[in-house]
Every structure is written in C-alpha cells, then in structure tokens.
Structure 1
C-alpha cells in the first residue's frame, strides 16, 4: 500500500467493532470472575482479586461497571436472588404451615451456610445498591407472611414474631461472616434446636 494511499472506508467501523467485541468479552470475563468470587467468599472480596481472575485490570472493572456497586448489581441475580427467591416461592407452595416454616427456616439457613454473599445481603453490607436492598425487602415481606400464617395456624409459640426470626437470621449472618465456619453437622443440629424452640409444642401447647 502506498504511503499516500487513503485508508479503506471500512477500516474504522471494523476497528470499532473489534473494540466493542473486546469490551463485551472483558465484561463477561469480569462477570464470571465476580460470580465465582462472590459465591465463594461473599460480596466484600477485593476487586483486585476479581480483576486478576478475569485477566483484566481493576481499572477495567470501574470502566465497565462503575465500581463494586455496579458489579454487584450486574451479578446479584445469579449470586443471591435466584436461589433466595426460589426458597420463598417453594415455601409458598407448601400447604401445611408446620412443614412450611420448617422448610423455609432450614432452606434459609442452608443458603446462609453455603453462600456467604447471602449474609452480606441480609446484613445490608452495601445499602447503596438498590437491587440488594430490594432483595432485603422481598425477604422481609416473606418472613412477615410466613410467620403470620404459622402463628394463625398455631404451629409457632404465640410470642414468636417475624422480628424474632429476623434477629435470629441476622445473628447467624454475623456469626458466619465474622466467626469460624462450624462443621456442617453441628450447624444442621442447631437448626433442629432452633425449630424445636419456636414450635408451639416446645412450650406444651397443641
């Protein structure tokens, strides 16, 4: 090609297309790395580690997602919302109130044990994330609904409230986030103790 030759007319669009493809690839790599990191270690994983796993710089995360909050909102559906909402939906299909509360509490504690990011959501670690706070609202509404129904049906101690359940869930979140992870069998045994303690029969009521 002569030095004075004009560039091909399609050279610039092709370059822009390559840049867009690179940007999409980087974004998907970051999302995949964030999902793996957040599911395994919670939403507070250093962004440097997410960037390293994605094969990009930390600056690229800010360029693509605007920072941690944007990245959380890009993946929170896969990391937390899908499983948590599935638990809520499944609980609502269980006709027996006693079985419903047992399933709901057991499944929720299972999520807290398996998915550290769930505890970050429950603790509202990033209140600037509208999606995170919306997940909290949905969860709170579910707690109110399930506890109210169970109390009406007489399967819970009458003094046990949705606020009590919330406090127990938060206590568990704090213990799992800041303490040593207990063996799974011990954790599940304590779930059984918790259920026994809140059931109406535990206090001698029918």
Structure 2
C-alpha cells in the first residue's frame, strides 16, 4: 500500500497539471465558456476528472485565471500608472485594454461577469473598476477628456466592445485598431485637442 499511494499521488499531480495546461490554452483561445469536454480531451482525461480535481468550471477557472488574464491586466494597470502625461496615460490604457480584449477572449468573459460566483473574477473586475475611476478622475481634472465623460462611460465602452467581440463578427485587426483611434479622438477634451493642434502646427 505504501508503494501504491505515492504513485496515485503522482498520477493525480500529473492529471492536475495536464488539466491546468489544457485549460489555459482553451480559455485563452476560446474564452471561459469553452466546453469542459474540450478541456478534458486536450488534457487526456475524462470530464469527471476535472470535477474531481477542481470541483467544476468555477474551480478550474480560479486555478488558472492568474495566468490567463489577471497577471497581464494588473501589469497593464501598473504600467499605466508610471506614464507621466495624463493624456498619454489615457491613450495607452484604452489602447492596451482593447488590445487585450482582442487577443484574450477570456478577458471579455471577465468584463461581462459571465461567472459571478467566482470570487477571483469579481475581484479582477473590482480592481479594473478602481483603475478606470482613478484614471478618468485625473484626466477630467486635467481637462484632457470631455467634461461630461465619466468612469461609467469608459466601462460601458469596454463592455460594449466585449459584447461585440464575443457575439459579433470578429473585425480585421487593422480596422479594429483604426476604431480605437476614433474612440480616443471622440472622448478627448478641448485642452487635449488644442494641445495636439499646437504640436502639429509647431
């Protein structure tokens, strides 16, 4: 029995790592709603094994969400805070967020709060909301955003984009990036626009 138990533990660890690896690839490629059957197949285990090891979809998501979404999003937020000019900070943040949305379907599932029972997903949403509020407050105070533009507006724009990417036809990357520029132009305030014109004329 003493020889069998370590082997069973080793098999369990191997299965868990295979499931984690398969889940990361599936979630990054297709989002958090990917069928668990596909994850199980990629991991070379049964669907029941996923439930045995992780308790189901929520447990599996929480086991890998750091690698799938959280680490990149939090790094993006930290990088935004290091940028000196508030106009440049807004441009970087919104461009980077939309880039993450385009590349990582799982991020859109987080934004849409597809699994509200996941504490980790809701915590990611909370951190993102705080970053939005902090950024918009600073930008409005500096006059680089339209005075009526709110953190709620920024959130709505990001969520609308998440819905479009998840349920609509995926745009070509060049078109997508061009629309990001249009979006930035649309929310900028007068001081930001006049500053850009002065720089261009100079």
TM over 0.5: yes
**What residue is the counterpart of 1:136 in the other structure?**
125
Aligned to 1:21: 10
Counterpart secondary structure, 1:127: coil
Q: 1:67 Cα shift?
A: 0.1
Match of 2:143 in 1: 154
8 Å contact kept, 1:42–1:117: yes
What are structure 2's unaligned runs of at least 5 residues?
A: 196-202
Match of 2:2, SS?
helix
- Aligned residue in 1 for 2:199: none
Distance 1:26 1:153 in 2: 53
Distance 1:58 1:74 in 2: 16
Describe the shift of the 1:51–1:148 C-alpha distance in structure 2 as closer, same or farther (beyond 3 A). Answer: same
Matched, 1:187 2:172: no
Aligned equivalent of 2:97, options 108, 117, 125: 108
Q: Is the 8 A contact 2:29 2:104 kept in 1?
A: yes
Q: Measure the CA separation in 1 of the matches of 2:21 and 2:174.
A: 31
Structure 1: which 4+ aligned runs deviate by more than 3 Å? 201-206
Cα distance change on mapping 1:21 and 1:196 into 2, 3 Å: same
Matching of residue 196 in structure 1 with residue 188 in structure 2? no
1:19-44 deviation line (CA, Å, top 9, x unaligned): 00000000000000000000000000
TM-score by length of 2: 0.94
* Partner in structure 1 of residue 87 of structure 2: 98
TM-score (norm 1): 0.93
Matching residue of 1:55? 44
Is residue 83–residue 89 contact of structure 2 (8 Å, CA) maintained in 1? yes
**Secondary structure at the counterpart of residue 21 of structure 1:** helix
Q: Over alpha carbons, which structure has the higher Rg? A: 1
* Residue aligning to 2:198: none
Please report how far the alpha carbon of residue 201 of structure 1 lies from its aligned counterpart in structure 2 after TM superposition.
3.2
Distance of 1:39 and 1:164 partners within structure 2: 27
- C-alpha distance in 2, partners of 1:205/1:110? 27
